[in-house]
A and B are shown apart, each in its own frame.
Chain A
Amino acid sequence: MFAAASPKQPAALYAKGLVDKPIEFATNTLALIVPKRNPAHITSVNEMTRPGVKLVICEATVPCGDYARSVFKNLGITAEAMKNVVSQTADVTQVVAEISTGQGDAGFVYVTDAEAANGKVTAITLPPEAKAGTKNTIAVVKSGKNQTAAHAFVAQVLSPQGQATLRAAGFGPS
């Protein structure tokens, strides 16, 4: 079973015949986060491009980094934003860590990660033109040894109970 924060990776695996057809199981939204103390006094996405702001995003190869880059593109701030990037992490939780410790001034994570950070970071909602919505997809791996359990897990995720758990964590309906 493979769950991803983006439709891209499961689709690539599906095209290679390695997984069953991916199913969208939840949606999420990218948000700008700042440390609770907010040392750079950032209250909107426009202030993030000020020179000297330390910005943390995921690497381009992982969904959260891919989404951050498309948000920059949609807002037309790619050059300014990328100039401020001081750290690129291998996963989204590391962005949260670097912002909650105050090493970075601002970062891009999913709202669910911002909520899970126990109040150590403040999330700033992105404007609609940023097109910050993201899709989570799930697929059963064909070479998996326990196909029954994998299918049962996917069914569980898609069931009302599974969906309620995801809503509680901040995920949106697919």
Chain B
Amino acid sequence: MSTAAPSGAPIDGNDARAWLPALGRLAVAVGATVVIVVVMAFLMLPIVALFTYQPIHDLIDGLGAKVATDAIIVSLKTNVIAFMLMIGFGTPFAYILGRSRFRGRSVVITLVELPLVMPPAVAGLALLVAFGRFGLLGHTFSMLGIDLAFTQAAVVIAILYVASPFYLRGAIASFEAVDQTLLDVAVTLGAGPVRRMLSVALPLAGAGLAAAAAVAFARGIGEFGATILFAGSFQGSTQTLPLAVYSLFDANLDQAIAIGVLLIIVSFAILLTSKLLVRSWTSSTSTSPSPGERSISAQH
């Protein structure tokens, strides 16, 4: 920033020449401070307003209400199930895409990222016309006796669809960043492909995977649009925390805000965890990427 200070301004007199650069630096410092304060105030003020809207005991009362505790349970249950499915299926998928080269690989990676940029409401509509009762697979499902409409399974699917690309993208990059020579050494030591993945690649990519999983989990906890369109909203069954916020918005604003505060605390905790994991990962010497590899750790 200091380089932006005007230097050698065409002004007569030694005095002016002496204090002008200092004045310039001061102006830049003041300007920089103002920019930071304005942007941070804009970002933080709504959060401060949520936290200070009601006395702390009202906030705790709001979270103790049945509608809130029901939503906490629904959110926890559906997100934990979605998270396990995401890790279980997503990790081998990301490993394959991260470590192998095949035709159409970049197309697959781009398609994986598509739900990331899809508006959640559109994702909900897409799930509805794919898995809904009148959807593409609706007839097949009804013959199999499966009815997802307004079930917790539908909530899990909505969360999984919207959140898992965040994990897949990070996990693919983490596996890509694993040093090939270490995997080659494992081959010479007689390790098969599964052993190489579990004992070599997984520990090396571990922190990156965990950071990506944390971001995906946060996205899942906050999922709203796809869930309300695909799974509906019913207290104790499909009403997650964000849906409860929406439902309480007109009925009981205090409670809606109490749940909002809880969601912010949870999201912040997850964000912090993910930051710490990325830091411990990038500062670790064992995972330096081999030259030419595209990697997300290239930021350091």
Name A's B-contacting residues (CB within 8 A). 35, 37, 39, 54, 56, 59, 61-62, 85-90, 98, 101-104
Q: Is the CB of B235 within 8 A of A103?
A: no
Residues in B whose Cβ lies below 8 Å from that of A102: 132-134, 138, 149
Residues in A whose Cβ lies below 8 Å from that of B249: 90
B24 within 8 Å of A (CB atoms): no
Q: A61-B251, A89-B232, A102-B149 are in contact. List 7 more A-B contacts (CB 8 A).
A: A39-B133, A59-B247, A85-B234, A87-B238, A88-B233, A90-B249, A103-B149
- Selected from B132, B250, B251, the residue in CB contact (under 8 A) with A101 is B132
Interface residue SS majority, chain A: loop
Closest B residue to A87 by beta carbon equals: B232
Q: Is the CB of B132 within 8 A of A86?
A: no
B175 within 8 Å of A (CB atoms): no
Residues in A whose Cβ lies below 8 Å from that of B237: 86
Chain B 224-260 interface 0/1 with A at a Cβ cutoff of 8 Å (1 = within)? 0000000011110110000000110111000000000
B172 within 8 Å of A (CB atoms): no
Q: Is the CB of A61 within 8 A of B250?
A: yes
Closest B residue to A89 by beta carbon equals: B233
Closest A residue to B237 by beta carbon equals: A86
Q: Is the CB of B246 within 8 A of A90?
A: yes
Q: Is the CB of A103 within 8 A of B232?
A: yes
Q: Is the CB of A59 within 8 A of B251?
A: yes
Q: Which residue among A86, A101, A102, A103 has the maximum number of chain B CB atoms within 10 Å of its CB?
A: A103
Please judge, given known A-B contacts A61-B251, A62-B250, A101-B132, whether A54 and B149 are in contact too, CB under 8 Å. yes
Closest B residue to A37 by beta carbon equals: B134
Complex Cα distance A62/B249, Å?
A: 12
Chain B 92-103 interface 0/1 with A at a Cβ cutoff of 8 Å (1 = within)? 000000000000
Q: Which residue among B134, B232, B233 has the maximum number of chain A CB atoms within 10 Å of its CB?
A: B232
Residues in A whose Cβ lies below 8 Å from that of B149: 54, 86, 102-104
- Size range of the chain B interface in the assembly: 10 to 19
Please judge, given known A-B contacts A37-B134, A59-B251, A86-B234, whether A101 and B128 are in contact too, CB under 8 Å. yes
Closest A residue to B154 by beta carbon equals: A103
Name B's A-contacting residues (CB within 8 A). 128, 132-134, 138, 149-150, 232-235, 237-238, 246-247, 249-251
Q: Is the CB of A86 within 8 A of B232?
A: yes
Closest chain-A Cβ to B120's Cβ sits at a distance in Å of: 16
Complex Cα distance A101/B127, Å?
A: 12
Complex Cα distance A136/B237, Å?
A: 33
Residues in B whose Cβ lies below 8 Å from that of A88: 233-235, 247
Complex Cα distance A3/B238, Å?
A: 31
Residues in A whose Cβ lies below 8 Å from that of B233: 87-90
Closest chain-A Cβ to B285's Cβ sits at a distance in Å of: 53
Closest A residue to B228 by beta carbon equals: A94
Closest chain-A Cβ to B86's Cβ sits at a distance in Å of: 25
Q: Is the CB of A103 within 8 A of B251?
A: no
12 contacts between A and B (CB under 8 A): A39-B133, A54-B150, A59-B247, A86-B237, A88-B234, A89-B232, A90-B233, A90-B249, A90-B250, A101-B128, A102-B132, A103-B232
Complex Cα distance A61/B249, Å?
A: 11
- Selected from B128, B138, B232, B247, the residue in CB contact (under 8 A) with A56 is B232
Complex Cα distance A62/B62, Å?
A: 21
Residues in B whose Cβ lies below 8 Å from that of A56: 232
Closest B residue to A88 by beta carbon equals: B234
Residues in B whose Cβ lies below 8 Å from that of A39: 133
Complex Cα distance A60/B150, Å?
A: 19
Complex Cα distance A29/B10, Å?
A: 81
Closest chain-B Cβ to A33's Cβ sits at a distance in Å of: 15
Closest A residue to B248 by beta carbon equals: A61
Residues in A whose Cβ lies below 8 Å from that of B247: 59, 88, 90
Complex Cα distance A59/B235, Å?
A: 10
Q: Which residue among B150, B235, B247 has the maximum number of chain A CB atoms within 10 Å of its CB?
A: B150
Closest B residue to A62 by beta carbon equals: B250
Residues in B whose Cβ lies below 8 Å from that of A86: 149-150, 232, 234, 237
Cβ-closest 5 pairs across A and B: A87-B232, A102-B134, A86-B150, A61-B251, A103-B149
